[in-house]
Structure formats: structure tokens, C-alpha cells
Amino acid sequence: MKHLQTLQYVDTIARVGSIRKAAETLFITSTALNRRVLALEEELGVPIFERLPRGVRLSAAGEILIHHARMQMADMERVQSQIADLSGVRRGHISIVCGQALLAYFMVDHVARYRQQHPGVTFSVSVCNRADAISALSNYDADLAIVFEPVRTPDFHPIGSVPQAIQAIMSAEHELTKKSELTWSDILSAKLILPTRANGVRHLLEEALAKKGGELNTVIESDSFDFIRNYIVSENCISFQIPIGLPKKSDKSSFITRAIGINAIPHGHVFVGQMNGRALPVAASLFANELIKSLENLDPRSNN
């Protein structure tokens, strides 16, 4: 949209921190971009950016403006999507951030299903931790966030959730496979490979630790579930994952899952959420509804 171009420019400058660099990514000359900034500052009567030797940084006024600008741009997208919806076509773009566990199977399924019904809708799906997911919503970088045990902030507005019990995963040779359900002392006694602290599963585990005491025998920490999954067949240790993040029964070849007693580690929840107070574009809103409906029908014990 033409009339938002300047705001778009300002947004880019704020993100990259320099007018010249921003000009490159926007495919215009730095002169033109600089002049836009100066004109806007003239209009507002105050500088939007502080000039630093190596670039620019938002001033206090700029912070206020940029928040408005991002809101305006997101709202215009919503307007365009609503207008497009009037003419029957469902078009638009949905930007999603979600935790690693949710991305691999759950999001793949749902995005594919939605795209089958609405080929005009494009997606961007990014993986990130719980804290970054919320800030992506606040910056209007993402329309929806799907996370396990989200950070509680006023900016995050949950619109659907499903409880998820943490499960232990291990190789078929591990001695704990003999038990059908693991206790807290089983966990304490085992060698563990855990996701990093930004992860929701890890968070729940740390909470249980604080409450129940003991010491975790954490031999490896990794932010890649792929690494974890492949590693447990190489060394005799166990890790944890939520059911929604595990492949379906049929292809579960390389490792074994075991339930964990509800007394050992409490259930967590997967949340679908958006930024508080924001009106989503038509496509994103519909997609969110379908996600939630799917979550509601999801029995946590059905895909163990």
C-alpha cells in the first residue's frame, strides 16, 4: 500500500539500524530514504531517530511511532484480506512462530491441510523459543504463535489450548523400557539429554525439580530435537518430549516412548495464541480456528 510506504521504510530502518543498509534491502537509494525520514520528522516536529556515528536508533518519539506503524500495517493487511474475502477468494499470508516440538508434525499436517483447501494462502512458519514467540507477536512479525507452556505476558492472548503430558523417549535397549510408566526417581537415576532452558518441556522439568528436589543427571543439552532423537540410540540415556511433537505410531522406529507418572511431572499445555487486542486477517483467523478445533479433538493419549 502506497500510503504506508514511508512507515514501512521507517520500520525497516529501525530493524537494521542504519539508513544506508535499509536502503539496500529496500532497493532504493539512501538519499531517497534519508529524505523520507527527514520529511516525516519535519511533519511530526521531532526527530524519529537518534543519529549515531554508525547508524541510527529510534528516539522516544520513534518508539511510539514505530508501534503505531506496525499496527497500521498489520491492520491494513487485515483490511485487504477482508476485502479479498468479499470477492469469494480466500487469499493472504499467514505468519506463524512455534516451538520445535510443534513444528515437525503438527504444523506440517495443519498447514498442508489448510493449503489444500485454500491454495491462495501462503505461509511462513518459523521455529523459536517461547519468549521469542511472544515478542514476534508483539512486533507484528507473526500472526499466530503455537507454543508449549508459553511465557505469561499481557501481550499474549491464548485462543486455544490442549493439555500435553510429557513423555520419556529412549532407545529400545534402555532398561527403563521394562516399566510402562516412569516415576520421579526413575528420572533422577537415568542419564538425561535435555533441550535448552528456553524450551517448554525443559521448563516443566525444572519446575518439577524445584518442587521435588534431587539432582538431574544431565549429560547433554541441545536445542535440536533431531540431535536428541538420534543421540539416544547412541548412548544409553533418556530424553523427553510431548506427544504432539512425536511422529505417528507407524513411523516410530528408532526410539521407544514411555509415559511418566502424573505425580512425577505435571501436564503442560500447548497454546495457540495471538497478540492481545489485535484483529487478525481473515485467513489467519480461520486457520487459528481450525487449529483450535483440531486441538480440542486431540486426545492427549491417542498418539502415544
Binding site for DNA (CB under 7 A): 2, 18-21, 28-32, 34-39, 51, 53-56
Which of the choices a second copy, DNA, none does residue 296 contact, using the CB cut-off of 5 to 8 A by kind? Answer: none
Distance CA 172, CA 303 (A): 18
Nearest-approach distance from CB 193 to a second copy, in angstroms? 47
Distance CA 216, CA 206 (A): 9
- Name which of 50 and 181 has its Cβ closer to a second copy: 50
Shortest Å, Cβ 138 to a second copy: 16
CB atoms within 10 A of CB 292: 16
159 lies in the binding site for a second copy (CB under 8 A): no
Which residue bears the cell 491441510?
Answer: 113
Tell whether residue 10 is a contact of a second copy (CB under 8 A): no
Using the structure block, give the residue that is written with the C-alpha cell 492472548. Answer: 157
Beta strands in 64-151 (DSSP E): 92-98, 121-127, 144-148
Q: What angle do CA 160, 275, 74 make, to 5 degrees?
A: 125
Sequence-distant (≥ 6) Cβ neighbours of residue 103 within 8 angstroms: 125, 127
Reference 291, options 274, 272, 276; nearest CA is 272
**Interaction pattern, residues 73-112, with a second copy; x per rule: CB under 8 A:** --xx-xxx-xxx-xx-------------------------
Q: Which of 26, 61, 159, 298 binds a second copy (CB under 8 A)?
A: 61
Residue 66 CB, nearest approach to DNA (Å): 15
Q: Which is nearer to DNA, 56 or 166 (CB)?
A: 56
Binding part of the chain for a second copy, among 38-46, 129-137, 138-146, 164-172 by CB under 8 A, reads 38-46
Q: Which does 54 bind (CB under 5 to 8 A by kind): DNA, a second copy, none?
A: DNA
Interface with a second copy (CB under 8 A), residue total 30
Q: How far is the CB of 49 from DNA (least distance, A)?
A: 7
How many other C-beta atoms lie within 10 A of the C-beta of residue 113? 13
Q: What's the rounded Cα separation, in Å, for the pair 117 and 112?
A: 9
Question: Can you tell me the distance from the alpha carbon of 281 to that of 276, in angstroms, rounded to the nearest whole number?
Answer: 14
Does 64 bind a second copy (CB under 8 A)? Our answer is yes
CB of 83 to a second copy, least distance (A): 4
Distance spanning both ends of the chain, measured CA to CA: 48
| Contact of residue 181 among a second copy, DNA, none (CB under 5-8 Å per partner type) | none
| Residue 35, binding choice from DNA, a second copy, none, Cβ under 5 to 8 Å by partner class | DNA
Strand-pair partners of 158: 273
User: CB-based burial of residue 157 (10 Å sphere; 0-12 exposed, 13-18 middle, 19+ buried)?
Assistant: middle
Q: Summarize as ranges the residues that interact with a second copy (CB under 8 A).
A: 1-7, 39, 43-46, 60-61, 64-65, 68, 71-72, 75-76, 78-80, 82-84, 86-87, 277
